[in-house]
Structure 1
């Protein structure tokens, strides 16, 4: 892998950070507004799961294409074009009344997200020296998390006061942040770009395949498996909070924001802790353990008598979630060649989003048959069972890595002696 040999471009890092935060807030604002609008209109679990599937399917289906686009096409072109198109689509979505048209437009919006996610994530390591990468990556992750934290809370207030149209108009404006970032960021990947002299002497990296790395493959499989098992909670939560616990749209935004706040806190906590790991294997093991913490939080939340009690429980679950993000993405930053990094993040995101789709389908169908509270408990149990089952392939991947590859400290070729670890995170 290679990072920029030149001084770090912190102005570019801040441009990416701000644009990621603003666009992420818009994404979650729109998703929460549409979910609340459906629930308030009397739609059932199938309608909500259909909306979530429309927002997820393009991220999975287009991953092979968008990952290659992120590595081969000029990042400036991709950000500007995708940002303009997403703003136009969201503007149309604000005035769409037909449910079928809403679903189509949500799918098109997600197609743009499938392009911009790997572009932004792969740009960060190219902006900074290895020693500065932990800070830059933490800033990037924090921006996305803060946007995800503000979006649902803002949606709860705006939908309750003005309806769903205003949040969607705000989301349309937020995509212009991507356009501005694409025009102003000096660092570029893909297409015809100037190669630094120090980097031009590197031998071209061999073709990268996820299955060619047993440890990384086991980690991605484990994350996707657990997300698929527990993913029904994403459909069930709005009915659990609004109908079973009889809470307001504002409380729904507060509760969902608590998990996201935990992700932010957990990210910064574990960015420091990860520096203690000099081999890749323990990162995979601890990442799976933290996933178990997420599932345990979901299970415990099924017993609460009021939505307010969900806040501390989901805050802890979010902290585990943020730690897992750090550990999983450190593996990508360490083990994937720079030239394939956009594709790697697209593949990782597609695996997780594809697993989420399984949860969305199960949640939608089961809500027609079972009350929300037992479904929340079932999602937590299913996640914990998946963690136990998938611990075996992760252990095998750790053993294969230990036998075949020295730790990063022994390799000494991917970062400066005093450098921290890379923590680029894919967006939602």
Structure 2
């Protein structure tokens, strides 16, 4: 099984992996710095909210940009702007200016993420999407694995500025990828011309059910993102390095999960049912973690949770490549990202409110329980449309322009 452009598949992976290294290092460093300064849950929540609001708000505009503007122009200009933004973040001492710059940086991520996601199926070719997703996720996981651990060390020794400057340098990898990639996207506007019915997510019941299921679990579980630093540092008595290692354990698990999924990709109906089970497992893992008595207990739980998450991301990416028409991939990934990040936003806001009056342990347990309820509500719908899809989805090639009525890539957070 060969790729349409092996060089570009690996170049995409390296560029995003380096960017992930800087992003996770900077994000962890900011959370640790705020906690050390005595900032409470609202400040931590404000940073996390600032990182997702632009992705949600800009989705309609971004979708049109990614599908109509040369991908080389988008990646180079936005990558350079993000590098400048990170440099400015390293120079400020104001918490609220830092939050504003986080929002500006997220506006760039809102553009580059769907651009990369839309490019990958073209670079991989119809039969290579699953393996290309695993390669990309491996690079992302290596970057995300090293980032939190490095942040814990660097913040403890050198403070916040150095991780942010490193993040500025890594964004130059995005600009470099834009210049070096041979695969380029600029869908002709005529592709959406008169006489054609515009493709809509709501016309594909499979994708609609999938988005609702993923959104529900993200909303309920990502409250834990806000409370996590307080749970590890204060409830379990962990150090900054231990907090970074716990965060890295999830990412380490994603490495194996992504490759296992790439080797076992099947028809859409089967993958849909597997995703229901995986989302239930994720909620159960978070629930159990709330009963941990020491940081050491968190490592195997987060490794397992990361493995499940890695497989989920791979399956969702494969399904999206199969079912979404090539000319609207940018719009799909932008809007899918907006839905997931809106769920993130609500979860972060709820976390900021809850972390004051409630014990961190109780919030973590509540997150897991709410995740189980979310799967119970939307999992049945996903199961039914997956059964209806059956083996028909397996015969659909990635990038075809047909859409079928019974019928993403998530990151989270994202993607």
What do the CA deviations read for 1:222-249 (whole angstroms, capped 9, x no partner)?
A: 1001110111100011000011111111
Contact between 1:125 and 1:424, CA under 8 Å: does it hold in 2?
no
* Equivalent of 1:394 in 382, 386, 398: 382
Which residue of structure 2 lines up, in the alignment, with residue 163 of structure 1? Answer: 159
Q: 2:259 matched to 1:268?
A: yes
Q: 1:412 to 1:61 in 2, by over 3 A?
A: closer
* Equivalent of 1:377 in 351, 359, 365: 365
Between the aligned partners of 2:71 and 2:397, the Cα distance in structure 1 is 30
Q: 2:217 matched to 1:232?
A: no
Q: 1:205 to 1:267 in 2, by over 3 A?
A: farther
The DSSP-based 3-state class of the residue aligned with 1:175 is helix
Q: 2:392 matched to 1:407?
A: yes
In the TM superposition, residue 400 of structure 1 has moved relative to its aligned partner by: 4.9
Which residue of structure 2 lines up, in the alignment, with residue 38 of structure 1? Answer: 34
Q: Which runs of 5+ in 2 are unaligned?
A: 401-407
Q: 1:128 to 1:389 in 2, by over 3 A?
A: closer
Between the aligned partners of 2:41 and 2:299, the Cα distance in structure 1 is 23
Between the aligned partners of 2:348 and 2:332, the Cα distance in structure 1 is 24
Which residue of structure 2 lines up, in the alignment, with residue 320 of structure 1? Answer: 308
Which residue of structure 2 lines up, in the alignment, with residue 420 of structure 1? Answer: none
In the TM superposition, residue 43 of structure 1 has moved relative to its aligned partner by: 0.8
In the TM superposition, residue 192 of structure 1 has moved relative to its aligned partner by: 7.2
Q: 2:351 matched to 1:363?
A: yes
Which residue of structure 1 lines up, in the alignment, with residue 290 of structure 2? Answer: 302
Q: 1:424 to 1:357 in 2, by over 3 A?
A: closer
Between the aligned partners of 2:358 and 2:3, the Cα distance in structure 1 is 57
Contact between 1:286 and 1:327, CA under 8 Å: does it hold in 2?
no
Which residue of structure 2 lines up, in the alignment, with residue 286 of structure 1? Answer: 274
* Equivalent of 2:185 in 185, 189, 205: 189
Between the aligned partners of 2:147 and 2:10, the Cα distance in structure 1 is 20
The DSSP-based 3-state class of the residue aligned with 2:128 is helix
Q: Which runs of 5+ in 1 are unaligned?
A: 1-5, 194-199, 416-422
Answer with 184-193 or 353-362: which moved more: 184-193
State the TM-score, normalized to the length of structure 2: 0.92
Between the aligned partners of 2:86 and 2:299, the Cα distance in structure 1 is 31
Between the aligned partners of 1:205 and 1:338, the Cα distance in structure 2 is 15
* Equivalent of 2:338 in 350, 370, 394: 350
* Equivalent of 2:23 in 12, 27, 39: 27
Query: What count of residue pairs does the alignment treat as equivalent?
Result: 403
Q: 2:102 matched to 1:111?
A: no
In the TM superposition, residue 191 of structure 1 has moved relative to its aligned partner by: 6.1
State the TM-score, normalized to the length of structure 1: 0.89
Q: 2:54 matched to 1:58?
A: yes
The DSSP-based 3-state class of the residue aligned with 1:131 is coil
Q: 1:111 to 1:410 in 2, by over 3 A?
A: closer
Between the aligned partners of 1:357 and 1:413, the Cα distance in structure 2 is 31
In the TM superposition, residue 7 of structure 1 has moved relative to its aligned partner by: 6.9
Between the aligned partners of 1:262 and 1:104, the Cα distance in structure 2 is 32
What do the CA deviations read for 1:49-101 (whole angstroms, capped 9, x no partner)?
A: 11100011111111111122111100000000000000001100001122221
Which residue of structure 1 lines up, in the alignment, with residue 404 of structure 2? Answer: none
Between the aligned partners of 2:62 and 2:166, the Cα distance in structure 1 is 26
What do the CA deviations read for 1:366-414 (whole angstroms, capped 9, x no partner)?
A: 1110111111111111111111111232134335535xxx614445797
Q: 1:129 to 1:410 in 2, by over 3 A?
A: closer
Between the aligned partners of 1:209 and 1:225, the Cα distance in structure 2 is 21
Answer with 125-134 or 297-306: which moved more: 125-134
The DSSP-based 3-state class of the residue aligned with 2:237 is coil
Between the aligned partners of 2:163 and 2:374, the Cα distance in structure 1 is 36
Contact between 1:259 and 1:314, CA under 8 Å: does it hold in 2?
yes
The DSSP-based 3-state class of the residue aligned with 1:43 is coil
Between the aligned partners of 1:214 and 1:241, the Cα distance in structure 2 is 40
Task: Report matched runs for 1:9-158 at 5 Å.
Answer: 9-158=5-154
In the TM superposition, residue 334 of structure 1 has moved relative to its aligned partner by: 1.0
What do the CA deviations read for 1:262-308 (whole angstroms, capped 9, x no partner)?
A: 1221111111122xx23x22222211210111111111111111111
* Equivalent of 2:4 in 8, 15, 18: 8
* Equivalent of 1:207 in 198, 204, 215: 198
In the TM superposition, residue 14 of structure 1 has moved relative to its aligned partner by: 1.7
